[in-house]
Chains A and B, each alone.
Chain A
Amino acid sequence: MNTKKLLLKSAILLPLSLLFACGSGEKKSENDSSLSDTTSEESLTEDSKSFNYILPSPLQIASIFHRAKLKFDDKLLNKAESVNKYNTEIKLTLNMGVYATDLAYCLLNSQNQLSLSYLKTTRDLADKIGMGSVYNTEALVERFQKNIDNVDTLSDIISTIQTESEAFLEENERRFTALCIFSGAWIEAIYMASKTIETKFNDKIATEISEQHVSLRNLIKLLEEHSESKQPEFNEVLTKLKEINTMFENTAGYKAQPLEEGEEMPLSFQLTPQETNAIGAKVTELRNLVVN
């Protein structure tokens, strides 16, 4: 039997046998299945997400830095027109995250027209990566336009988009896409924060940068559980994220922070101007890789 025929036969028989296995025996509710097959239980008992962690949204990260008085500088944004440069799934999703942070940054700094431009950019990207329905079902862009002077409504629209995007990706089992988006968002936020204090150090912003280390460390753990993270285009990003993680862990403040029992890492720690600039330079290198 040649390979194609074998594949065809397997493709037909396997699903059919599963169908019949599910359909036989007593009638069960939608939530039930047989426990007699221990193999199926074993395969089901382990949650597919064996490591869980709830990542913050780009809006929350931007909000943390905004509260730390991060000044607005439009030169730090990834230009909206650059969106046409991205044509691979990885680039599209990473830059979806970059633009989500840019959008939140503009919004929190009352740059409402610019926010609208970035909202349209993220909608275009969402269309390209199969998430367009999140933006289109409630005409969110149109609602944003109508409420352009009402910051509370705009924030509400953005947080709705972000949470519904997460729900959409979870429902469609696109966890890796969600992680790629978060990677781009995290890189952009740390890039902006570190660039802002590159020449004039700000201790508060540096501490907020250190607080984002916990997200990075957990992001890496989550990414490593996905085989897609090993594809060459993303692996380069992951390698650099790991290098940045090591830089955080080698700082004097991180090493000096005592840990309580059950704690894996400190929530925040002191970063010196030199350490912040070194981490910032590495993040800039990674950001250039993502946006260019």
Chain B
Amino acid sequence: MRFKLFLIIFIIAFSSIANAQCKSGKIMVKASKAEMKPYNMDAYVDNELIYGKQPKTIETPFTAYSGESYKLIFASDNVPQGISIGIYDKNKRAKTRKELYKYDFKVGDTRAPVFEIKKPGNYYIQFDVPPSDDEKVLKKGCMYTMIGFKENE
């Protein structure tokens, strides 16, 4: 019985440490509701940012369906180093793709300018995470993305 209790305590403790960076999702959703208007808050995703020895790219596709418009909100409460946010019309493997949105999210920023999509298609959100600026330290942060939709008039 004690053994089971011990195990449970450790599992709980370590599961929270393992993904401690993205723990403000509900707060971010609430904080973005007013800004999302007149769009309906629809989707949420968080991305853990890890600044290691090498730069990294995180690509997240999403689909804009016909007859609808979309608003994207990017927010964070703990970016230890700047990252670049981009939105493209094609994935990163495509030789020719159009950059539709670009923002350099800096330390201390809590929001990026919103982005609206009015044309149906597949879109690709890209986070470019630079290497850690301290070669001895691996840094971590979190970026929250909220997407809203509304029907086209």
Contact = CB atoms under 8 A, between A and B. Distances in A.
Contact of A63 (B10, B44, B151): B151
Given A47-B58, A211-B65, A163 B42 contact: yes
Given A35-B135, A52-B61, A44 B52 contact: yes
A176 B67 CA distance: 30
Contacts of A171: 22-23, 25-26, 46
Nearest to B3: A8
B86 to A, nearest CB: 14
A262 B138 contact: no
Interface stretch (A71-79, A93-101, A154-162): A154-162
A106 B100 CA distance: 36
A246 B95 CA distance: 28
B122 A214 contact: yes
A62 to B, nearest CB: 11
Interface in A72-120: none
A117 B97 CA distance: 47
B42 A159 contact: yes
Interface in A162-196: 162-164, 166-168, 170-171, 173
Contacts of B14: 15, 18
A41 B121 CA distance: 35
Nearest to A218: B61
Interface in B73-101: 78, 80, 90-91, 93-97
Interface of B is mostly: mixed
Nearest to A8: B3
A98 B149 CA distance: 21
A155 B40 contact: yes
B40 A159 contact: yes
Contacts of A63: 68, 149, 151
Interface string A204-228: 0000100100110010000000000
B114 interface: no
A41 B58 CA distance: 16
Nearest to B18: A173
Given A35-B137, A53-B61, A170 B22 contact: yes
B44 A262 contact: no
A34 B26 contact: no
Interface stretch (A24-32, A142-150, A237-245, A249-257): A24-32
22 contacts: A11-B6, A11-B10, A30-B20, A31-B139, A34-B136, A35-B53, A41-B50, A45-B56, A52-B61, A54-B147, A56-B63, A59-B40, A60-B43, A160-B29, A162-B42, A166-B45, A167-B26, A168-B25, A173-B18, A211-B63, A261-B90, A267-B63
List the 5 shortest-distance A-B pairs measured between CB atoms, nearest first: A262-B94, A167-B25, A262-B90, A54-B62, A52-B60
